[in-house]
Amino acid sequence: MVSESAAPHFNIEPTSNPTPADHRADLIANPAFGRIFTDHMAVVKYSESRGWHDARITARKPISLDPAASVLHYAQEIFEGMKAYRTGNGSIVTFRPEENAKRFRASAARMAMADLPQEIFIQAVDELVKMDRDWVPEGEGKSLYLRPFMIATEAFLGVKPASEYLFVVIACPVGAYFGSGCVSVWVSEDYTRAAPGGTGAAKCGGNYAASLVAQRDSQSHGCDQVLFLDSREQRFVEEMGGMNVMFLRDDNTLVTPPLTGTILPGITRDAILQLAKDHGLKIEQTPIEIDEVFAGAASGRYREAFACGTAAVITPIGSLRRRQGEAVFGDGKTPGDVSLGLKKTLTEIQSGKTNDVHGWIHSIV
Ligand code: PLP
Ligand code: COI
């Protein structure tokens, strides 16, 4: 496959109809998660004959697709989730964008999609953030959520990897994904998310489509989120619908499932493991038996649990529920000290309040 250029020049086409400043200020004052979008998007096309081409920052608008486009039939779609933060000194930064670019390439490889060079991924995000910089909200817990994605656009109904793709980045100002406090989590014993050899480690839309019925099930049991177990034995903890999961044991060890190909290699997960080491905690990436977690919560051996991810940041888990009962961490309502301490360190790095000793921050403006 050829590419017109490894890092194409982005044509900048500002919208002729920008959101008025006072309306934008109202929209970003209380944004919730994922319903308000900025004025622009980044778009880059791919064809086997031309490689990546026609890179633009343009007005955000509907995408026109042939009804035979393969994404609509065979779900060749991948995405990423990352955030731009406004720091105390007025600059706007992203967190480890090269990791998102790498994971995007890995997801593309798994889904037999075109390889998007890291420079194009990062340039698209940077140019969009520059263009929509006024949409980056200020204040604790607020950021501009960035959603890079790629879809197969070739009009062809034979089952094969498409020869044409569209890479797009959209952005939305966001607040917390969950409210404050702890979440309750339903352990799904009816549905699994990924099997060995499957697509669990890829960030493809199909994984999320398959998780929705389990997420709905968790809500029907009065929980906020779902936790999946391994598909072979339904014995080991995997991850949640859109987050990784970690537990703190009473021997000051932070434990989380290993990356064996069935869970998403979270960038937040990786950063927290590093920060936990910095805080003097021991870390273990090891299979975790769900029965051990339930017994350990009752005995006090498992003291804290939390979900982690770009959208969720670090969200304390108050309780896990399953048909045979409930596992409560602490009093089930108050976030644990270690979860809060790790969250504070992580968010202070992201908002520029703490020295970025690991070199995780990428400045855009
Ligand atoms: N697991 C799943 C299924 C996710 O959707 C996410 C969110 O992106 C994560 C884990 C956490 O990944 P990251 O920390 O890179 O956002
Ligand atoms: C993210 O954290 O970026 C995700 O993709 C998860 C989803 C809950 C929005």
Q: What is the pLDDT of residues 39-82, one digit of tens each?
A: 999 999 999 999 999 999 999 999 999 999 999 999 999 999 99
Residue owning the nearest CA to atom 3 of ligand 2: 81
**How do residues 191-219 score in pLDDT, each as one tens digit?**
999 999 999 999 999 999 999 999 999 99
Residue 242 has pLDDT above 70, yes or no: yes
pLDDT at position 40: 98
Ligand 2 pocket test: pick from 243, 245, 263, 269 the residue with the most ligand atoms within 8 Å of its Cβ: 243
Answer whether 267 contacts ligand 1 (Cβ < 6 A): yes
9 C-beta neighbours (distance < 10 Å), count: 9
Ligand 1 pocket test: pick from 243, 259, 269, 306 the residue with the most ligand atoms within 8 Å of its Cβ: 243
> How do 361-363 and 92-95 pair as beta strands?
antiparallel
What is the 307 CA–ligand 2 centroid distance (Å)?
12
Query: For a pLDDT cut of 90, what percent of the chain falls above it?
Result: 94
Residues recorded for the chain: 365
Identify the band that residue 283 occupies on the pLDDT scale cut at 50, 70 and 90.
Answer: very high
Residue owning the nearest CA to atom 8 of ligand 2: 242
C-alpha to C-alpha distance for 193 and 255, rounded to whole angstroms: 21
Map residue 275 onto helix, strand or coil.
Answer: helix
Residue 21 has pLDDT above 90, yes or no: yes
State in words which class domain 183-350 has: alpha beta
C-alpha to C-alpha distance for 75 and 165, rounded to whole angstroms: 12
Closest CA to 245 of 234, 258, 233, 232: 258
C-alpha to C-alpha distance for 319 and 184, rounded to whole angstroms: 5
Yes or no: say if 95 and 145 are a contact pair by the CB < 8 Å rule.
no
pLDDT at position 198: 98
Task: Say which CATH architecture domain 11-174 belongs to.
Answer: 2-Layer Sandwich (3.30)
Phi, psi of 237 (to 5 degrees): -70, 135
Residue 121 has pLDDT above 80, yes or no: yes
Tokens of 101: 């670019």
Answer whether 184 contacts ligand 2 (Cβ < 6 A): no
The atom of ligand 1 lying closest to the CA of 103 is 15
Answer whether 120 contacts ligand 1 (Cβ < 6 A): no
Residue 323 has pLDDT above 60, yes or no: yes
Residue 266 has pLDDT above 90, yes or no: yes
Residue 1 has pLDDT above 70, yes or no: no
Answer whether 242 contacts ligand 2 (Cβ < 6 A): yes
Residue with tokens 């966001």: 174
289 C-beta neighbours (distance < 10 Å), count: 14
Phi-psi region of 197 (alpha: psi -120 to 50; beta: other; left: phi over 0): left
- Sign of the C-alpha dihedral, residues 259, 263, 269, 270? positive
**How do residues 287-310 score in pLDDT, each as one tens digit?**
999 999 999 999 999 999 999 999
Residue 3 has pLDDT above 60, yes or no: no
For the chain, which residues make up each domain, given as ranges? 11-174, 183-350
Closest CA to 153 of 64, 59, 79, 54: 64
pLDDT at position 228: 98
Yes or no: say if 144 and 171 are a contact pair by the CB < 8 Å rule.
yes
Residue 180 has pLDDT above 90, yes or no: no
Residue owning the nearest CA to atom 7 of ligand 2: 242
Q: Where are the alpha helices (DSSP H) in 63-199?
A: 70-74, 97-110, 118-131
Answer whether 269 contacts ligand 1 (Cβ < 6 A): yes
Per-residue DSSP letter, 9: P
C-alpha to C-alpha distance for 284 and 276, rounded to whole angstroms: 11
pLDDT at position 179: 82
Report which bound ligand comes closest to the CA of 104. Answer: 1
How far does Cα 362 stand from its chain's mean position? Answer: 18
